Structure 1
Amino acid sequence: MRRSYRRPGRFRRQQPYPPEEPRKFGRDNSQLTKKGKILRFLQSPTERSTQTKPRKPVMLPPAHLLVVAVGAALLLAFRPPLPALAARPIVAAAGGKPAPTEAAATARWLAAQNTWGVLSNVVSYSDGVPGESHGIPYFYLTTLDPTARDALEDERTSFTLSEFPLGTCGKIDPENPTCAKLTLTGKLKLIDPQSSEADLAKEALFTKHPEMEGWPKNHHFQIFKLEIKNIFLIDWFGGPKPISPTEYLEYEKNRALLKSS
């Protein structure tokens, strides 16, 4: 038996239903077309999703891309500090570690607060009596130690200090950039024992290291000083801070001038 239905349009068409498929509520939706396409309002959501054409990606103009890139760079530049570093104050308290922006002050603070450093060996030193730091490291060495013997043959040397022994780095790793590190390079000079500088150096060394005064006389300890030529300091992120020897040595004088002005 043949059945018919009315299609949208001007004509009628005889169309048999397949015997194995039941009639769909009086109309076979799959047969209703318009210009070769199934009418979407008669399709189920599943049928519509399988026939949806992929959308073309939205391409921003070059000017818009430039604005987005500049905005992202500004967000990265002015983002707040990481939570792990929030405990490290940027502005130091009175008498404490200087702020990261004060490179010369940090270098002088490290030299004044430490009592030992690395000079191709672990050596004690002093840069002045407590409270009167001059910035120049003095050493009390014997030629029984290779450090002094090498210095008499080749004066070139480097002297490294770290903030970590002072206990102000907290629980961070000693290599963390916020745990300050200072390296002074120059020449290790032997001081004339009869000079006034030798008396100043002895006072500075024996005040900071009282045990030195009783060291054996037959070991022939002598006073050396480091003539600073270059300075390498890291106390924050962003690489080493540029400090000249003059800026380092005259820091106290410059600070006094700033206070008086």
Structure 2
Amino acid sequence: MKFQMKRSIKQKKRLLHDVLQFELQRIIAHFLAACNTTRIFAYKYSILARSSSSPSCTFSVQTAGFGEIGNMGIKGLLYNFHLFSLVLLFVGFLGSVHGRLPLIKKPDPDDAAVTARWLVSNNVWGVLNTISSDLGGAPFGNVVSFSDGLPGKGGGIPFFYLTTLDPTARNAMEDERASLTISEYPIGTCGNKDPENPSCAKITLIGKLKVVDKKSKEAEFAKSALFSKHAEMKGWPIDHDFQFFKLEIESIFLIDWFGGPKPLTVEQYLHPKISKLAFLVGAHI
């Protein structure tokens, strides 16, 4: 019993660490964009960002790794969380100017697989398109929240939390054909470009929208993946019968530069070069 309790506490601490680390990445990258920062230094868990155009625009953060978090106890975790919140508040005023919090540096457009995974892992919403059963088979697009894994550990497969009170889930029950469209624009790395500009990347994942077996390990994964990025979902009404869905990808349409869509197979998307992807999104594949 004690062993199970210790393991449960350790898992909760690890999840909290992953979420805080994900948000810290957002803050730092937002600073980089707001301050025109061209240099960033990292040593263990200390991070220093400095603007070459404005020497006074400097941002430094020290954060504990999982090993330290595992030993500091609940009080230490709360202290670090409150400190982290103050940092978030301090940097937050920049959001009123830019409106979005960019994450990390955009991958090389020539690397289609890494760019595609970067787009999916660093986004939290998109337009999910289904075949409308209420409109005689007309295409129906709906803004939905999604997640492909825990923060920094995306697996590439998008999961959703949907109810049949909404047309999207009802449509999928009748016809599983679906697509998810995601833009680079919400990440914040497109700058002043129009979202339709080819260099502001966009991806459409085409496949089948399927219900996840609620008793499966995949359902547990979907729950952790979604609730870690969309905490509000935990409190959504039980009587609305929300279910976990996933998009089984069959083909991919990616635009990340001029010259038309990039050739990219599902196999290449799901298994990109590990070293590059790990550097960009902290993925574990």
Q: TM-score, normalised by structure 2?
A: 0.56
1:107 aligns with 2:116: yes
| Distance (whole Å) between structure 1 residues aligned to residue 266 and residue 277 of structure 2 | 18
How far apart in 2 are the matches of 1:256 and 1:221? Answer: 32
Tell me how far 1:249 sits from its aligned partner: 0.7
Partner residue, 1:250: 271
Q: Which one has a bigger Cα radius of gyration?
A: 1
Q: 1:219 aligns with which of 236, 240, 258?
A: 240
Q: Kindly provide the amino acid, as one letter, of the partner of residue 114 in structure 2.
A: A
Distance 1:197 1:253 in 2: 23
Alpha carbons of structure 1 residues 149 and 252: separation in structure 2 relative to 1, 3 Å: farther
User: Is the CA contact 2:114–2:277 (under 8 Å) kept in the aligned structure 1?
Assistant: no
Q: Indicate which of 136, 142, 148 corresponds to 2:169.
A: 148
Show the 5 A alignment for 1:1-261: 95-119=104-128, 120-251=141-272, 253=274, 255=276
CA distance in 2 between counterparts of 1:133 and 1:187 reads: 20
Residue in structure 2 matched with residue 41 of structure 1 by the alignment = none
Amino acid at match of 2:120: A
SS at match of 2:108: coil
Between the aligned partners of 1:142 and 1:203, the Cα distance in structure 2 is 18
Q: By how many angstroms is 1:210 displaced?
A: 0.3
Q: Structure 1's 244 and 154: CA in aligned 2 closer, same or farther, altered over 3 A?
A: same
In 2, distance between residues paired with 1:113 and 1:256? 12
In the superposition, relative to structure 1, how do residues 255 and 124 fare at CA in structure 2: closer, same or farther (>3 Å)?
same
**Where in structure 1 do 4 or more consecutive aligned residues deviate above 3 Å?**
252-257
Measured against aligned partners, the alpha-carbon deviations of 1:162-191 in whole angstroms (never above 9, x if no partner) come to 001111101111100000000000000101
Contact 2:114 2:276 in 1 (8 A): no
1:251 alignment partner, SS class? coil
Offset at residue 99 of structure 1 (A):
0.7
Q: Per residue, is there more helix in 1 or in 2?
A: 2
Distance 2:200 2:277 in 1: 27
User: Per-residue CA shift, 1:209-257, capped at 9, x if unaligned?
Assistant: 0000110000000000000000000010110001100110112547589
Gaps of 5+ in 2: 1-35, 39-102, 129-140, 279-285
What residue in structure 1 maps to residue 30 of structure 2? none
Tell me the residue number matched to 2:29.
none
Distance between the aligned counterparts of 1:249 and 1:223, measured in 2? 21
Letter matched to residue 182 of structure 2: L
Question: Residue type of the partner of 2:189?
Answer: T
Matched residue SS, 2:246: strand
Deviations 1:68-119 (A, max 9, x none): xxxxxxxxxxxxxxxxxxx9x9xxxx94110111101110000001110001
Paired residues in the alignment total 167
1: CA distance, partners of 2:169 / 2:273: 30
Structure-1 separation of matches of 2:213 and 2:231: 22
Partner amino acid, structure 2, of 1:118: V
Provide the secondary structure at the position in 2 that maps to 1:107.
helix
Q: Secondary structure at the match of 1:121?
A: strand
What SS is found at the alignment partner of 1:98?
A: coil
- Structure 1: 5+ residue stretches without partners: 1-86
- CA–CA separation in structure 2 for the residues paired with 1:254 and 1:193: 33
**Using the alignment, how far apart are the partners of 1:252 and 1:151 within structure 2?**
33
| RMSD after superposition | 2.2
